[in-house]
Copies of this chain bind each other. A is one copy, B any other.
Amino acid sequence: MYTYEYPRPALSVDCVIFGLDENELKVLLIERGHDPYAGCWAFPGGFVDMDETTEAAAKRELWEETGLQNMFMEQLYTFSDVHRDPRGRVVSVAYYALVKLSDVKDQVSASSDAQKAEWFPVNSLPALAFDHAKIFDTAFTRLKGKVRYQPLGFELLPEKFTLSQLQKLYELILNKELDKRNFRKKILSMALLIELPERQKGVSHRAAKLYQFDKVKYKELEAKGFSFEL
């Protein structure tokens, strides 16, 4: 057996979780109960066990701290500044995740009894612990970049959504207005949306058709070289 006898940095994970709340993009933060940075807000995270991958650790921590699971999650970047944690050398592998906030909004506050968890609009975050402001910037930049050529948007919407909801989502993330007719033409021309035999309910105006993203078809097309692009 071979072993390494050098001192090792500690290894942690952190998760930036995005959720769409009505007309605002939000992220989930945890209020730290003790030092360092007691009272500060931080992304959920923790240390990696010896028998789990970093991705498994990220999912476990998320489950433990927020009760969330089964969302879209992807590795973001590994942060290794020597002094990023005052307690000593900690290298952190960051992930970002997208959740259908409409489905889980109550769930989060209910299950995070020990710690205070809260959704904050991406444009008005409180002071963040460690280098989490940097992690957030990296995550948000990645999301903005990737949403244009990968169908990430659907991970943030409910299963059934209207075209206006979809458009608003893109306008929020890309931070620019889109033409309604052109947007619809383009998104429908990809033939990746299933039109449901249902409509919106309880709105005081004409009810919009509901659509669903056809994940199966997307996977097929993707394998054939098709690339989603907005």
Residues in A lying within 8 Å of B, measured CB to CB: 1-4, 6-11, 35-36, 47-55, 75, 77-78, 80-82, 86-91, 93
Which residues in B have their C-beta under 8 angstroms from that of A36?
Answer: 2
Question: Separation in Å of the A134 CB from the closest CB of chain B?
Answer: 13
Which residues in B have their C-beta under 8 angstroms from that of A90?
Answer: 4
The majority secondary structure among interface residues of chain A is: loop
CA A47 to CA B7, docked complex, whole Å:
10
A4 partner, pick from B10, B54, B82, beta carbons under 8 A: B10
Q: List 14 A-B contacts (CB under 8 A).
A: A2-B35, A2-B87, A3-B87, A3-B88, A4-B87, A6-B49, A8-B8, A8-B11, A9-B48, A50-B82, A53-B80, A54-B78, A75-B78, A91-B93
* Stoichiometry, copies per complex: 2
A48 touches B2 (CB 8 A): no
A9 touches B11 (CB 8 A): yes
A8 partner, pick from B9, B35, B53, B81, beta carbons under 8 A: B9
- Seed contacts A11-B91, A80-B93; 12 additional CB < 8 Å A-B pairs: A1-B88, A2-B36, A3-B87, A4-B47, A6-B47, A8-B8, A8-B9, A9-B11, A50-B82, A53-B81, A54-B78, A75-B77
Which residues in B have their C-beta under 8 angstroms from that of A11?
Answer: 8-9, 11, 91
Q: Which 5 A-B pairs have the closest CB atoms?
A: A2-B87, A54-B80, A8-B8, A53-B80, A78-B78
CA A166 to CA B50, docked complex, whole Å:
46
Which residues in B have their C-beta under 8 angstroms from that of A6?
Answer: 10, 47, 49
CA A35 to CA B88, docked complex, whole Å:
32
B80 touches A2 (CB 8 A): no
Which residues in B have their C-beta under 8 angstroms from that of A81?
Answer: 53
CA A50 to CA B81, docked complex, whole Å:
10
B4 touches A88 (CB 8 A): yes
